[in-house]
Amino acid sequence: MAFAISSTAIPDGGDIPRKFTCDGADVSPELSWTEPPPGTQSFTLIADDPDAPGGTWTHWVLYDLPATTTGLAEGVNKIDELPGGERQGRNDFRKIGYNGPCPPPGKPHRYFFKLYALKGKLDLKPGASRQEVEQALQSLVLGQAEWMGKYRR
């Protein structure tokens, strides 16, 4: 098997349940992954909507997940630093942690959960922006996996 991310809550390419959106409880979905590349020392997760009217909208930035992590439970706390040392950045809602789909009425938007396997830690302070995280991980990426769901209002 290759490095892959999946979710029992969201079918790949399917509809995101209301629970994980601004129209519901707005909690993060369960995610799991398998077979990270050899040498993986940490993971970074970025969730975004490339179909947002003003360009790609970032919904979640989570970094410095330990290499032993194989997934995330539903409803990750919206705090800047988690008990295992994982750190969450600021999303485009200007909040820490996950904020789910909240598109304007119309066509469905695609939401990508992108997981990066890294050969080191980012060691950025909690609350980093997506831009800071992407800049820090550029030279560390060993592999990438993604999962996509759709949502419309």
Residue pair 80/126 in contact (Cβ under 8 Å)? The answer is yes
Domain count, the chain: 1
pTM over 0.85, yes/no: yes
Q: What is the CATH number of the domain that holds 47?
A: 3.90.280.10
Tokens of 102: 């909240």
Tokens of 72: 């995330």
Look at residue 124 and give its three-state secondary structure: coil
Tell me: the pLDDT tens digits for 120-150? 999 899 999 999 999 999 999 999 999 999 9
Distance (Å, whole) CA 73 – CA 133 = 22
Residue pair 96/90 in contact (Cβ under 8 Å)? The answer is yes
Residue range(s) defining the domain that contains residue 126: 4-151
Tell me: the pLDDT tens digits for 71-101? 999 999 999 999 989 999 999 999 999 999 9
